[in-house]
Each structure stands twice: as structure tokens, then as C-alpha cells.
């Protein structure tokens, strides 16, 4: 504007520069990535409870089928010296199924079944494995006694090889676990490092027991061509054992809470 002195002065206002700060591309990508679901053990979208219930039903079915087969079709079990050697041999599959299949499966699921503090779960887990080994010892004795009385060679079949390997690994697993988790001199860091290996080898040995039971049942089918009803019972027992093994592994893998 013109001033009184005749001079014109122009007032200059400072220019304001607006700079648009663009968001880095990396940050935008990072925001997009955070919306993706995170993979974890809960991605199964279910807990172990349904599998535990199904395992109990299958265990009851396996026990019932094994008892019907041993008592009805095989005539029971006898340990007498003058008794039929086949009655002695019947104790082998019966005690092995009860010990290495049912008791071992329940021991594997002890941390899912037992309600209470962790020491109580550990005690039940340990005792069930002891019961399983006791039944397996009786079943193994019945097999060797039958082979001795019938003058048959020992350890010639795949079933026998798998059985001996399973028993040996089972006992070794139990001893190593006793040293790590029960022995008071074990270091806590060593226990923590051994826990995943203990779970892994426990599942492997349990699956070996399932496989041994299946191969053992298969040995009874071939001589029974003229007895179809007994073959059906054996086949259903094998299917129930297989489903029990699958459900037990799922109960171990699935989380306790979702």
C-alpha cells in the first residue's frame, strides 16, 4: 500500500511450504503382515478333551474284544504244567494288549486325564508305565514258555523282533526318565532340555507297541480260515487298537486349553 511519504513498501509474507511425508512402504507392508494369523498349536481349533474321551471309549472296546477273543474263542488262560500249551500262549496277546497298548496309552495321556497338581500327574504317569511293564513281562514270559513247551524256535518273526525292540526301548526310556525327572540330583536345565526328547521317544515307542500288536494279531488270522467269526473279532480288535493309537497321539499333540 502507498505510504504517507510517497514511497511504496511491499510487505512480504513468509512462504509456508507444506511437505507431505509419505509413509514408508516397509511400514505399510509391516501393517499388512500383522493381520495374518499366527501359526501355533492352537491352530487345530480344538482341545484334547474330545480325543481323551474317545480314547477311553476305544480302550474299553479294545479290552472287551481282547477278553472275548481270549476267553470265548481261545478257551481262557492256564499256567498249569499239564495244560494245553495254547492256553499258556493265549496269555501273551492278552497281557500285551492290556499292558503295552491300553496302560501305555493311558500313561501317555496322564497329563491330560489327571486333574490336580503336576506332581500327581507325574506319579500317575510313572505308575501306569510300571503297570504296563509288569503286564508286558508276564506276556513275554508266556510267549517264551509256549515256545519252550512246544519246542519252537524263538525270535524268528518280524513280530518278535519288533516286540523285543519295543520292550528294550520302553525300559530304557523309563530308566532315563527316572534319572532326569525323579532323581533328586538332576539339574533343572538338563530336565528342560530332555523334555521334548522324552515326549518324542515316548510317542515313537507307543507307536512301536501298536505296530507290534498289529503284526501279532496278523499271525493268528492265517490258521483260522475255517473260523470266520474269530477272524472278525481279531480284525475288529486290530482296528480298535489302531484307532486308539491315533487318538492317543492326537490327545498328546492338541493343547489342554484353546
Which is higher by pLDDT, 7 or 179?
179
* Mean pLDDT for the stretch of residues 116-136: 93
Which is higher by pLDDT, 209 or 29?
209
Q: Is residue 1 part of a domain?
A: no
> Residue 53: which domain range?
48-253
Amino acid 79: pLDDT: 77
Q: Express as a percent the part of the chain with pLDDT over 70.
A: 78
End-to-end CA distance of the chain: 78
CA distances from 31 to 21, 40, 43 (A): 18, 20, 22
pLDDT tens column, 130-167: 999 999 999 999 999 888 888 888 888 999 999 999 99
Number of domains forming the structure of the chain: 1
221 burial (CB, 10 Å; 0-12 / 13-18 / 19+) is middle
Q: Is residue 15 part of a domain?
A: no
Amino acid 153: pLDDT: 87
Q: Is residue 68 part of a domain?
A: yes
Q: Is residue 21 part of a domain?
A: no
Amino acid 77: pLDDT: 86
Check which CATH number belongs to the domain holding 208 and give it: 1.20.120.1770
Contact assessment for residue 117 and residue 81, using Cβ atoms and an 8 Å cutoff:
no
Angle, nearest 10°, between helix axes 49-68 and 228-253? 160
Q: Is residue 87 part of a domain?
A: yes
- Please identify which residue in the block is written with the cell numbers 508276564: 138
Query: Which of 1-15, 44-58, 241-255 shows the lowest per-residue confidence on average (mean pLDDT)?
Result: 1-15
- Grade residue 74 by pLDDT with cuts at 50, 70 and 90: confident
What region does 155 belong to: left with phi over 0, alpha with psi -120 to 50, or beta? Answer: left
Query: Which of 74-83, 167-176, 241-250 shows the lowest per-residue confidence on average (mean pLDDT)?
Result: 74-83
Q: Is residue 182 part of a domain?
A: yes
Q: Is residue 165 part of a domain?
A: yes
35, pLDDT greater than 70: no
Amino acid 63: pLDDT: 97
Q: Is residue 9 part of a domain?
A: no
Amino acid 13: pLDDT: 53
Q: Which residues lie across from 2 on neighbouring strands?
A: 8
pLDDT tens column, 157-212: 999 999 999 999 999 999 999 888 887 776 777 888 889 999 999 999 999 999 99
DSSP letters for 160-217 = HHHHHHHHHHHHHHHHHHIIIIISTT--HHHHHHHHHHHHHHHHHHHHHHHHHHHHHH
Amino acid at each position: 500500500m502507498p505510504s504517507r511519504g510517497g514511497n511504496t513498501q511491499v510487505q512480504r509474507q513468509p512462504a509456508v511450504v507444506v511437505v507431505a511425508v509419505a509413509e514408508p512402504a516397509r511400514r505399510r507392508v509391516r501393517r499388512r503382515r500383522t493381520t495374518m494369523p499366527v501359526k501355533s498349536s492352537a491352530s487345530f481349533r480344538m482341545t484334547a478333551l474330545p480325543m481323551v474321551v474317545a480314547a477311553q471309549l476305544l480302550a474299553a472296546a479294545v479290552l472287551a474284544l481282547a477278553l472275548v477273543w481270549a476267553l470265548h474263542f481261545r478257551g481262557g488262560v492256564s499256567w498249569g504244567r499239564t495244560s494245553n500249551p495254547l492256553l499258556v500262549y493265549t496269555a501273551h496277546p492278552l497281557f500285551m494288549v492290556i499292558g503295552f497298548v491300553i496302560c501305555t496309552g493311558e500313561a501317555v495321556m496322564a497329563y491330560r486325564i489327571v486333574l490336580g497338581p503336576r506332581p500327581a500327574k507325574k506319579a500317575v504317569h510313572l505308575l501306569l508305565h510300571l503297570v504296563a511293564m509288569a503286564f508286558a513281562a508276564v506276556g513275554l514270559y508266556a510267549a517264551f514258555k509256549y515256545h519252550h513247551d512246544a519246542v519252537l524256535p524263538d525270535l524268528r518273526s518280524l513280530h518278535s523282533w519288533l516286540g523285543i525292540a519295543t520292550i528294550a526301548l520302553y525300559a530304557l526310556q523309563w530308566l532315563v526318565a527316572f534319572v532326569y525327572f525323579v532323581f533328586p540330583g538332576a539339574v533343572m536345565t538338563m530336565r528342560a532340555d530332555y523334555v521334548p526328547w522324552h515326549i518324542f521317544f515316548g510317542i515313537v515307542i507307543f507307536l512301536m507297541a501298536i505296530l507290534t500288536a498289529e503284526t501279532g494279531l496278523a499271525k493268528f488270522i492265517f490258521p483260522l480260515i475255517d473260523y470266520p467269526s474269530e477272524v472278525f473279532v481279531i480284525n475288529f480288535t486290530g482296528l480298535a487298537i489302531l484307532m486308539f493309537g491315533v487318538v492317543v497321539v492326537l490327545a498328546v499333540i492338541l493343547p489342554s486349553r484353546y
